[in-house]
């Protein structure tokens, strides 16, 4: 049975959850969480690497014991430790940790006192008023837990892009190896770079569709076949990801790819344009009566409607068709346009690699500058730096910069924005830096008015360069806090500071709508990896995808500037 890096990462995350609920050492829990993230972000498939005879890879922060457990799972698909922990606690109990307001101690109490192990049981206990009777809960907490549990139960399962990519890319490689298969492309929301995907659409060209359908049914990772016909099938993989496969003729490939890429609203708008011209557009092509006049390529479909090719990321019926007709489509940013990264961490706070390792990885990623922005002192869980520690860190960066060739380290800090809008370090310390990245890391439940005022006060500080992950959301885990983002964007314009698009797949924050709004206001967006390891620079591709969905061009992004070009822009934000 195939084992992907994502499978290993999920197992280690579950181990960490179960250990935390049991009250294990925070250092042990953190080790498994770090291992989960490291494996999940590793660029090569560990199972395939071992099967090819290569030695186990050296992974940052992974010692001999963890390496042995990763090796065990990669080669067998099983973990003795995980099996032991599951025997002590139901596996479903870990889902409760994703409910806002429930930490490990509360989950353990709910399990032991009320035998609550699932979202359904949690919801029932809250409705019955049993949770408020437990120490430390109360009626208000119970009500908010009920709301959160019901929201989680109603939310359809969705997958972050990197997780979906591991599974669909393996399937694409499998399908391409089938004799007589021509092109294989992933369509749907994955191709449009939506933040998460619910299921995946794959378009295949082949001379023998039946062979493709048979091979799909034999694929090792298929857990269930929902439907299967001569040219299309829907299957569910072992990780619960649904994949719909369509086999089409080569002369319909472009039309099918366009149709299954969507969005639905975009496709409907195009069909109306076609109808006005006496044409019909569907997954088989563009037709005038019974004659197919286009469809082999997507460009041919658009050309029949007197439109240029519209990039998939824009296809949401949010003005892209009108822009195309008027010749105003943006020249969207590309990954190669990025010259630097303005948000990264090392072992000095909660990162997993040294300054030198991060610098070399950034250089290998094609960057010419990297801002090191450790957490500030208030964020103790991330080993935040006080003034003295930051001063020593600055000296280390200065010494390393004297040795580096081809990359420059910029001195920064990810400083906490406190509840009153003040910053977590004094002015005389912040003034020593090249840039200050401000971030909200707590008090997420403030009213929109208070949260907005808090951030505006921080942005008006004399040393403030970039507002990090502006909405504070974690996809699938934590909703964005309430804030007046249009006002924040307008203030960034007035103040002359910048907004971040955090490229971590669990954040992708700013969202696409606010990226477009920032562009309209003339506020530059900084696409940053928020890297905590050398592997994280790969996430910049997802930040680029989000930026493209937000209509951003090279000129709209701060860190497309050269080092010489960006220095005065950053200096202007530092008082």
Supply the DSSP string of 30-48, one letter for each residue: HHHHHHHHHHHH-SS-HHH
pLDDT at 516 over 70: yes
**Rg of the chain (C-alpha set):** 25
- CA separation for the pair 373, 465 (Å, rounded): 12
Q: What's the DSSP call for residue 344?
A: B
What average pLDDT does range 123-130 have in this prediction? 92
pLDDT at 148 over 90: no
pLDDT of amino acid 103:
81
Of 337, 349, 312, 358, nearest to 512 by C-alpha is: 312
- CA separation for the pair 284, 273 (Å, rounded): 17
* 381-397 per-residue burial string, b: 16 or more CB within 10 A, e: under 16: ebbbbeeebbeebbebb
pLDDT of amino acid 567:
98
pLDDT tier, 485 (very low <50, low <70, confident <90, very high otherwise): very high
Residue 429 CB partners (closer than 8 Å, separation 6+):
387, 390, 391
For β-strands 280-282 and 285-288, DSSP reports them as: antiparallel
What average pLDDT does range 53-80 have in this prediction? 91
What ranges make up the beta strands (E) of 46-160?
Answer: 159-160
What average pLDDT does range 199-220 have in this prediction? 96
pLDDT of amino acid 537:
97
Superfamily of domain 335-572, CATH level 4: Metal-dependent hydrolases (3.20.20.140)
pLDDT of amino acid 532:
94
- CA separation for the pair 500, 510 (Å, rounded): 7
pLDDT of amino acid 375:
96
Q: DSSP 3-state helix, strand, coil percentages of the chain (rounded to 5)?
A: 50, 15, 35
Tens digits of residue pLDDT in 389-417: 999 999 999 999 999 999 999 999 999 99
- CA separation for the pair 311, 314 (Å, rounded): 6
Structural contact between residues 247 and 185, judged by C-beta atoms closer than 8 angstroms: no
pLDDT of amino acid 149:
84
pLDDT of amino acid 553:
98
Read off the tokens for 534: 């050398």
pLDDT of amino acid 155:
67
pLDDT of amino acid 186:
98
**Domain layout of the chain by residue ranges:** 5-154, 160-325, 335-572
Superfamily of domain 160-325, CATH level 4: Beta Polymerase, domain 2 (3.30.460.10)
Phi, psi of 207 (to 5 degrees): -85, -15
Structural contact between residues 37 and 71, judged by C-beta atoms closer than 8 angstroms: no
More confident residue, 291 or 158: 291
pLDDT at 1 over 70: no
Query: How high does pLDDT run on average in the chain?
Result: 94
Structural contact between residues 204 and 153, judged by C-beta atoms closer than 8 angstroms: no
pLDDT tier, 153 (very low <50, low <70, confident <90, very high otherwise): confident
DSSP string, 500-567: EEE--TTT-BS-HHHHHHHHHHT--EEEE--BSSGGGGGGHHHHHHHHHHTT-BGGGBGGGS-HHHHH
pLDDT tier, 208 (very low <50, low <70, confident <90, very high otherwise): very high
Q: How far is CA 322 from the centre of its chain?
A: 30
Q: What's the DSSP call for residue 474?
A: B
What ranges make up the beta strands (E) of 302-447?
Answer: 340-341, 369-375, 408-416, 437-439
Tens digits of residue pLDDT in 317-361: 999 999 999 999 999 999 999 999 999 999 999 998 999 999 999
Q: What's the DSSP call for residue 279?
A: -
> CB neighbours (10 Å) of residue 308?
13
pLDDT tier, 474 (very low <50, low <70, confident <90, very high otherwise): very high
Phi, psi of 246 (to 5 degrees): -120, 130
pLDDT of amino acid 23:
87
- CA separation for the pair 277, 291 (Å, rounded): 14
pLDDT of amino acid 156:
67
Half-sphere CA count of 334, side-chain side, radius 13 A = 4
pLDDT at 101 over 80: no
- The Cα angle at residue 456 between residues 372 and 529, in degrees rounded to 5: 25
pLDDT at 547 over 90: yes
pLDDT of amino acid 104:
84
The two domains 160-325 and 335-572 share their CATH topology (first three levels equal): no
What average pLDDT does range 363-381 have in this prediction? 94
Lowest mean pLDDT among 67-76, 86-95, 112-121, 314-323: 86-95
pLDDT tier, 40 (very low <50, low <70, confident <90, very high otherwise): confident
Superfamily of domain 5-154, CATH level 4: DNA polymerase beta, N-terminal domain-like (1.10.150.110)
> CB neighbours (10 Å) of residue 271?
16
Residue found by looking up tokens 């030198």 in the block: 356
Q: How far are the Cα atoms of 95, 122, 307 from residue 153, in angstroms, in the given order?
A: 11, 11, 42
What average pLDDT does range 276-286 have in this prediction? 96
């Amino acid at each position: 049975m195939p084992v992907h890096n994502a499978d290993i990462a999920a197992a280690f995350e579950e181990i960490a959850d179960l250990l935390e609920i049991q009250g294990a050492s925070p250092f042990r829990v953190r080790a498994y969480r770090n291992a989960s993230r490291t494996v999940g972000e590793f660029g090569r498939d560990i199972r395939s690497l071992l099967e090819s005879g290569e030695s186990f890879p050296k992974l940052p922060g992974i010692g001999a014991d963890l390496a042995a457990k990763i090796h065990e799972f990669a080669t067998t698909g099983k973990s003795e430790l995980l099996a032991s922990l599951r025997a002590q606690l139901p596996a479903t109990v870990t889902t409760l940790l994703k409910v806002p307001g429930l930490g490990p101690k509360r989950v353990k109490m709910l399990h032991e006192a009320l035998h609550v192990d699932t979202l359904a049981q949690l919801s029932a206990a809250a409705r019955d008023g049993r949770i408020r009777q437990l120490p430390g809960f109360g009626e208000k907490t119970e009500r908010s837990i009920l709301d959160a549990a019901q929201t989680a139960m109603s939310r359809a399962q969705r997958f972050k892009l990197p997780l979906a990519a591991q599974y669909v890319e393996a399937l694409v490689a499998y399908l391409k190896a089938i004799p007589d298969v021509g092109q294989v492309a992933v369509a749907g929301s994955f191709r449009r770079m939506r933040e998460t995907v619910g299921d995946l659409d794959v378009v295949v060209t082949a001379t023998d569709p039946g062979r493709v359908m048979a091979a799909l049914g034999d694929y090792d990772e298929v857990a269930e076949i929902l439907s299967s016909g001569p040219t299309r099938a829907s299957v569910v993989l072992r990780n619960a990801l649904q994949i719909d496969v369509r086999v089409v003729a080569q002369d319909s490939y472009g039309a099918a790819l366009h149709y299954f890429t969507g969005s639905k609203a975009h496709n409907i708008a195009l069909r109306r344009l076609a109808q006005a011209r006496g044409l019909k557009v569907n997954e088989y092509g563009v037709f005038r009566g019974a004659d197919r006049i286009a469809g082999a390529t997507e460009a041919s479909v658009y050309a029949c409607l007197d439109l240029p090719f519209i990039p998939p990321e824009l296809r949401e019926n949010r003005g892209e068709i009108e822009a195309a007709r008027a010749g105003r489509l943006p020249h969207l940013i590309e990954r190669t346009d990025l010259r630097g990264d303005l948000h990264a961490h090392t072992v000095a706070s909660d990162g997993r690699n040294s300054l030198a390792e991060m610098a070399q990885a950034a250089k290998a990623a094609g960057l010419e500058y990297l801002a090191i922005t450790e957490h500030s002192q208030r964020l103790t869980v991330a080993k935040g730096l006080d003034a003295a520690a930051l001063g020593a860190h600055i000296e280390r960066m200065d010494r390393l910069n004297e040795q580096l060739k081809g990359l420059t380290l910029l001195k920064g800090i990810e400083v906490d924005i406190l509840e009153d809008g003040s910053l977590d370090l004094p002015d005389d310390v912040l003034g020593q830096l090249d840039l200050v990245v401000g971030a909200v890391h707590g008090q997420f439940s403030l009213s929109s008015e208070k949260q907005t005022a808090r951030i505006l006060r921080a942005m008006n500080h004399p040393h403030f360069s970039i507002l990090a992950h502006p909405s504070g959301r974690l996809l699938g885990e934590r909703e964005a806090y309430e804030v007046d983002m249009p006002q924040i964007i307008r203030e960034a314009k007035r103040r002359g500071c910048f907004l971040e698009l955090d490229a971590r797949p669990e954040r992708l924050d700013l969202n696409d709508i606010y990226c477009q709004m920032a562009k309209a206001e003339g506020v530059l967006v900084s696409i940053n990896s928020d890297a905590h390891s050398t592997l994280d620079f790969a996430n910049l591709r997802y930040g680029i995808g989000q930026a493209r969905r937000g209509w951003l061009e090279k000129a709209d992004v701060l860190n497309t500037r050269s080092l010489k070009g960006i220095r005065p822009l950053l200096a202007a934000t530092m008082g």
